[in-house]
């Protein structure tokens, strides 16, 4: 059996979170959308189709063909939209040719090898477009996430499902005597090598708590389930509210509620992060805080592809791209979107709701910043502190993303100068 996971046009809705990774490498719960899909197809041959600027770097980590037309040919093929959020409802791998539609979106396409050969497509989207005219369509029951806030909305549910899927549970690491599991005792997993220090509360009344290998939970921390603390993460005297997935290798303090912190990110100090998704290699300065509720309790609007979109939710925080840094006291408005590679000098003012990638914000204005070489120096320093190398392929990807976002950045700078 062969499975192909692909990105479709709606992937642009997730910028800037997916500028440096395929959309199916975004997280919801303890794992990525890709890992969640592949749980349903153990042992399957896999290939991926992603935006072209990601292909070279993703080939390095995928362990499978990427953007390779030859990988589409051969035995029967199941193509799955990388925005699919599966909780045990995987599309059947066997059966007749079939398109699974979710409204106007294609959730999956199951095609026999002969059908694929008849098309001769060079990529997944071309194959699906051709198949829509040849193959019967059925309603697909699987969820497709369409915007970043959907990942937040389903995060707690996914953490609970990931806990249920664990091969083992209980306390296998260190749980100090003066710490407490407050709630059902069987709703905790502390992995071997994890440490829970004294004066920590793991509250399982609302759901399970997962603490992965090498994580350290320092004194005066409270973690409410469902929550996930990734490998090598340090939680430092923090209030971790329900629905949080943090890590791997993060440093987090203050208050965090219903948020995803992708990995290698620092929020060491006090400040509030709520209903937010924060990318990798981000540093949030002391007292950095986001609003996640409007004073009038109305639905939050979020910038998507340059236009404000009604989220349909009253609780939406911020979305911050990789390698962005904030100064002390930075205040994010409700539903703020900040691109990758930004420097934010917030001060005491509320920031605008959108800041484009690789821009600086200071003294109330958006500016072009210190240049690409200076940015790379900062990236090398930040990654070096965690023993991670910055490769030439990484640099080329960052350069490509900077070029892809150039027009919107220049337009924002032009407006700021006026």
122, 146, 170 - which closes a domain: 146
Looking at the structure, tell me whether residues 78 and 218 fall in a common domain: no
**Is 321 within 8 Å of 332 (Cβ atoms)?**
no
Domain boundary, last residue among 112, 131, 146 = 146
Indicate if 9 and 72 belong to the same structural domain.
yes
SS3 content of the chain, % helix, strand, coil (to 5): 25, 30, 45
Output the domain CATH number for residue 263: 2.160.10.10
Residues 141 and 289 in one domain: no
Domain count across the chain:
2
Are both 122 and 199 inside the same structural domain?
no
Pick the last residue of a domain from 84, 112, 146: 146
Interatomic CA distance for residues 127 and 133, integer angstroms: 11
| 244 & 138 share domain | no
Q: Could you tell me the end-to-end alpha-carbon distance of the chain, in angstroms, rounded to an integer?
A: 58
CATH of the domain at 25: 3.90.550.30
Output the six-digit token pair for 219. 């004194």
Residues 156 and 127 in one domain: no
Antiparallel, parallel or unpaired: β 31-32 and 27-28? antiparallel
Q: How far apart are CA 340 and CA 358, in angstroms?
A: 6
Q: Are 106 and 132 in contact (CB under 8 A)?
A: yes
Same domain, 158 and 93: no
Q: Which residue has the tokens 């809705």?
A: 13
What would the DSSP string read from start to end of 385-411? Answer: TTT----HHHHHHHHHHHHHTHHHHHH
Residue 302 contacts residue 319 (beta carbons within 8 Å): yes
CA distance 310 to 312: 6
Alpha carbon distance 208, 187 (integer Å) = 5
Residue carrying the six token digits 């407006």: 415
- In whole angstroms, what is the distance from residue 408 CA to residue 368 CA? 11
Q: How far apart are CA 169 and CA 296, in angstroms?
A: 43
Q: Is the domain of 179 the same as that of 310?
A: yes
Range of the domain at 327: 152-417
Distance of alpha carbon 146 from alpha carbon 144, whole angstroms: 6
Check residue 347 and report its DSSP letter: T
CB within 8 Å of 189: residues ≥ 6 apart: 163, 166, 168, 169, 170, 172, 208, 209, 210, 211
pLDDT of residue 418: 74
What is residue 377's predicted lDDT score, i.e. its pLDDT?
A: 95
Q: Which residue has the tokens 């986001």?
A: 290
Q: Are residues 213 and 257 located together in one domain of the fold?
A: yes
Number of H helices, E strands in the chain: 9, 41
pLDDT tens, the chain, 418 aa long: 799 999 999 999 999 999 999 999 999 999 999 999 999 999 999 999 999 999 999 999 999 999 999 999 988 999 999 999 999 999 999 999 999 999 999 999 999 999 999 998 889 999 999 999 999 999 999 999 999 999 999 999 999 999 999 999 999 999 999 999 999 999 999 999 999 999 999 999 999 999 999 999 999 999 999 999 999 999 999 999 999 999 999 999 999 999 999 999 999 999 999 999 999 999 999 999 999 999 999 999 999 999 999 999 999 999 999 999 999 999 999 999 999 999 999 877 778 999 999 999 998 889 988 899 999 999 999 999 999 999 999 999 999 999 999 999 999 898 888 7
- Are 19 and 139 within one domain? yes
Both tokens of residue 366? 């958006």
Round the average pLDDT of the chain to a whole number and report it. Answer: 96
How do residues 301-342 score in pLDDT, each as one tens digit? 999 999 999 999 999 999 999 999 999 999 999 999 999 999
pLDDT at position 122 is 87
Residues 174 and 257 in one domain: yes
pLDDT digits (tens, 9 = 90+) for 217-233: 999 999 999 999 999 99
Compute how many other C-beta atoms are within 10 angstroms of the C-beta atom of residue 414: 10
Q: Are residues 159 and 109 in the same domain?
A: no
In degrees, rounded to 5, the angle at the alpha carbon of residue 304 between the alpha carbons of residues 17 and 409 is 75
């Amino acid at each position: 059996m062969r499975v192909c996971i692909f990105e479709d046009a709606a992937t642009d809705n997730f910028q800037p979170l997916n500028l440096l990774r395929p959309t199916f490498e975004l997280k919801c719960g303890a794992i990525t959308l890709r890992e969640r899909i592949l749980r349903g197809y153990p042992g399957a041959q896999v290939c991926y189709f992603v935006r072209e600027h990601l292909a070279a770097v993703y080939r390095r980590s995928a362990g499978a063909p990427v953007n390779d037309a030859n990988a589409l040919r051969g035995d029967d093929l199941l193509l799955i939209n990388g925005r699919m959020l599966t909780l045990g409802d995987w599309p059947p791998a066997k059966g007749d040719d079939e398109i699974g539609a979710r409204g106007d979106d294609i959730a999956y396409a199951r095609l026999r090898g002969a059908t694929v050969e008849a098309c001769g497509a060079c990529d997944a989207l071309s194959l699906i477009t051709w198949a829509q005219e040849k193959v019967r369509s059925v309603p697909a029951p699987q969820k497709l996430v369409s915007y970043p806030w959907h990942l937040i909305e389903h995060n707690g549910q996914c953490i609970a499902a990931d806990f249920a899927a664990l091969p083992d549970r209980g306390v296998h690491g260190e749980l100090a005597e003066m710490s407490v599991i407050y709630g059902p005792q069987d709703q905790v997993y502390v992995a071997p090598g994890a440490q829970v220090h004294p004066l920590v509360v793991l509250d399982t009344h609302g759901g399970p708590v997962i603490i992965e290998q090498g994580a350290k939970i320092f004194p005066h921390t409270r973690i409410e389930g469902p929550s996930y603390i990734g490998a090598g993460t340090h939680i430092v005297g923090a209030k971790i509210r329900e629905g949080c997935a943090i890590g791997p290798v993060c440093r987090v303090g203050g208050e965090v509620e219903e948020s995803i912190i992708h990995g290698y990110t620092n929020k060491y100090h006090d400040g509030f992060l709520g209903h937010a998704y924060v990318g990798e290699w981000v540093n949030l300065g002391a007292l950095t805080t986001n609003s996640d509720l409007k004073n009038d309790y109305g639905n939050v609007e979020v910038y998507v592809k340059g236009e404000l979109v009604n989220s349909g939710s009253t609780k939406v925080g911020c979305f911050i791209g990789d390698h962005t840094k904030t100064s002390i006291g930075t205040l994010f408005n409700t539903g703020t979107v900040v691109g990758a590679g930004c420097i934010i000098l917030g001060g005491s003012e509320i920031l605008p709701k959108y800041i484009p990638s690789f821009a600086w914000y200071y003294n109330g204005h958006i500016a072009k910043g210190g240049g690409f070489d200076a940015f790379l120096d900062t990236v090398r320093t930040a990654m070096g502190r965690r023993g991670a190398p910055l490769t030439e392929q990484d640099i080329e990807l960052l350069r490509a993303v900077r070029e892809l976002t150039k027009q919107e950045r220049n337009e924002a700078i032009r407006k700021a100068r006026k």
